[in-house]
Structure 1
Amino acid sequence: MLMLYNSDNFAVVQFDLPGDSAAVEPTGNDPALTRGGYEIVDKFARKEIFLEGAMAESFKVGVEALIQTSPSEDELDDYIARFTQLAQNPVVLH
């Protein structure tokens, strides 16, 4: 788990989880499979979304392109807000 971004509006955390190696025959030379994604928390709406697969890759590519332009916090928040519109899960503290 790695905190990537934390503003007044959003928090973005990257998760890298061990993949399911049962589907692949072990050859001794294969690197360990990994999977993961990004959890985005909308602090004002108190909702979160977990992006994985193609959606996570799209998020990553978009953030990398945005970083090349030295964006302001507002520009980063606007980009992240496009993904949080899909958020359905309420944030619950344990």
Structure 2
Amino acid sequence: MHTLYDSETFSVTHMLANAEAIPQRPSGASKSEHHARGIPLLARHGFEIVDKRSGKEVYLDGSWAELFQQHIQAWQVNTPTQEEVEDTLEQYAGLAQNPVSVH
């Protein structure tokens, strides 16, 4: 987990998949036996965007995470202003439905 951005209004954290490498199946073991051992077959990562004003967060994974990753890559090439970053995060914050809770 890496915090990528933190301001008075937004926080962005890159959530890294912590899946273990999938070992070779023992000969004679079926695919379902391998999956039944609880070993994840697909490691995924995502981004958590917290809107501090509303106290809500959105987790982006899959195609949403890929789209957001493209924004990050573009920002690395052309350094944006804080206003440009906040405007982009505001668009994603519109998806936020989950209240932020501390455990």
TM-score class, shorter:
0.7 to 0.9
1:66 maps to amino acid: W
Where do residues 3-82 of structure 1 align in structure 2 (5 Å cutoff)?
A: 3-19=3-19, 26=24, 34-82=43-91
Taking the aligned partners of 2:102 and 2:62, their CA distance within structure 1 comes to 26
Radius of gyration: which is bigger? Answer: 2
Could you say which structure has the higher strand fraction?
Answer: 1
Q: CA RMSD in A?
A: 2.3
1:89 maps to amino acid: N
What are the superposed Cα offsets for residues 54-82 of structure 1, whole Å, 9 maximum, x if unpaired? 10010010221133221111110111111
> Structure 2-normalised TM-score?
0.74
Taking the aligned partners of 1:7 and 1:38, their CA distance within structure 2 comes to 16
Does the 8 Å contact 1:18/1:33 carry over to 2? no
**Percent pairwise identity:** 36
